Chain A
Amino acid sequence: DAGVIQSPRHEVTEMGQEVTLRCKPISGHNSLFWYRQTMMRGLELLIYFNNNVPIDDSGMPEDRFSAKMPNASFSTLKIQPSEPRDSAVYFCASSLEGAGANNEQFFGPGTRLTVL
């Protein structure tokens, strides 16, 4: 298995532009997580899907952020319009089911987003 796949790996955009990050979870995993990592705030959970349904989106910072999971093998995180404070590394992770014991979360390589 190739593991969790994310694209693009790097994204540089200008303030006000729309940004779409993509994730393909490990086949057979039912849970998918989007995280944002910054020096100041560490690893923050943005949203959690289980069986393609958003379960907890309390970490989504504001209405400019949206996430979808149209099927079991694909998810997107969209920022519209983007702002410089959105600059961060965005990780997607997947697990068999949730985040408890025997449900290791496997992280993708991340997307480094820079908003100028």
Chain B
Amino acid sequence: GENVEQHPSTLSVQEGDSAVIKCTYSDSASNYFPWYKQELGKRPQLIIDIRSNVGEKKDQRIAVTLNKTAKHFSLHITETQPEDSAVYFCAASEPSTLTFGKGTMLLVSP
């Protein structure tokens, strides 16, 4: 089955800095890669996703890149704000189910 590795497990940045979270996957058949944000005590919510036929996708301050050859995908957050503080999960779709990474706790200090 699919295996998704996510790094780093914790990331601390100053407000206004950029943050990058990286994931790798093992199954070349995976073709859809969503990112979820989970605030403390809340449910995971989809923030951005990318399909395997696209290399990059942007939505305001967040972007995701995908390298199918290397089986890497990354989340980029620019101009971070304190409200970006949360746990971020990457996932890969097989396509009936999602396999999630272990999560990255992002802390944005004012």
Point out residues on A near B: beta carbons under 8 Å.
31, 33, 41-45, 48, 50, 55-56, 58, 91, 98-101, 104-105, 107-110
Contacts and interface: CB of A to CB of B under 8 A. Distances in A.
Given A42-B102, A100-B32, A101-B32, A48 B43 contact: no
Interface string B62-106: 000000000000000000000000000100011111111111000
The 10 lowest CB-CB distance pairs between A and B, nearest first, are A100-B95, A107-B43, A42-B102, A43-B100, A98-B96, A101-B32, A99-B98, A99-B93, A101-B51, A100-B32
Interface of B: 1, 31-32, 34, 42-46, 49, 51, 89, 93-103
A55 B95 CA distance: 13
Contacts of A31: 96
A43 B70 CA distance: 24
Contacts of B95: 98-101
A103 to B, nearest CB: 8
Given A91-B43, A101-B31, A45 B98 contact: yes
A50 B45 CA distance: 21
A28 B51 CA distance: 24
A71 B43 CA distance: 24
B96 A55 contact: yes
B68 to A, nearest CB: 15
A44 B1 CA distance: 13
Nearest to B53: A101
A90 B98 CA distance: 16
A104 B44 contact: no
Given A42-B101, A107-B43, A101 B96 contact: no
Contacts of B42: 109
Given A42-B103, A91-B43, A109-B43, A104 B97 contact: no
